Amino acid sequence: MITTIISIMVSLTISTLLIMTCFIISKKAKNNREKMTPFECGFDPKSSSRMPFSMQFFMIAIIFLIFDVEIIIILPTIKIIQMTELTSWFLTTSSFIIILILGLYLEWKNGILEWSN
């Protein structure tokens, strides 16, 4: 019990010290117009340096991330097939894949996968 309390206190102390150190180090000076503008050889910029963000690209990236994580979840099922019954493994894996396919179908029907409107 005492070791648990000591480990919690040590982790809280280390976390607090790191947060305080980051807070002290990251003190920024006041932002002014000269520091916020992009540098173009000493001249004023010709156009805005900020480009509009594509929401379709963001959605495709999120979908890719979700499916990437789901592949990591599916991979251990190959090893689990040796430890469990074949029917329970098949039902679990097929229900997971059916949920993924239904999610992909709903995204497709809602037009999330359409790049241009």
Model confidence pLDDT, tens digit, residues 78-106: 888 888 888 888 898 899 889 888 988 88
The verdict on residue 42 lying in a domain is no
7-54 per-position pLDDT tens digit = 999 999 999 999 999 888 876 656 666 666 666 666 665 666 666 777
The verdict on residue 12 lying in a domain is no
Q: Which amino acid is at 15?
A: S
Q: How many domains does the chain have?
A: 1
The verdict on residue 105 lying in a domain is yes
* Residues of the domain holding 70: 53-109
The verdict on residue 91 lying in a domain is yes
> Please, which residues bridge with residue 40 across strands?
43
**What local confidence, expressed as pLDDT, does residue 44 receive?**
61
Tokens encoding 79:
């090893």
**What local confidence, expressed as pLDDT, does residue 28 receive?**
65
CB atoms within 10 A of CB 113: 13
pTM of model > 0.85: no
Q: Following CA atoms 41, 52, 103, 107 in sequence, which dihedral angle do they give, to the nearest 10 degrees?
A: -140
The verdict on residue 37 lying in a domain is no
CB atoms within 10 A of CB 8: 10
Helix 55-74, helix 86-109: angle, nearest 10: 180
- The band of 72, judged by pLDDT with boundaries at 50, 70 and 90, is confident
Pick left, alpha or beta for residue 32 (phi over 0 → left; psi -120 to 50 → alpha; otherwise beta): beta
**What local confidence, expressed as pLDDT, does residue 26 receive?**
77
CB atoms within 10 A of CB 46: 7
The verdict on residue 45 lying in a domain is no
> Please, which residues bridge with residue 43 across strands?
40
Give one DSSP letter per residue of 12-29, joined into a string. HHHHHHHHHHHHHHT--P
The verdict on residue 98 lying in a domain is yes
The verdict on residue 80 lying in a domain is yes
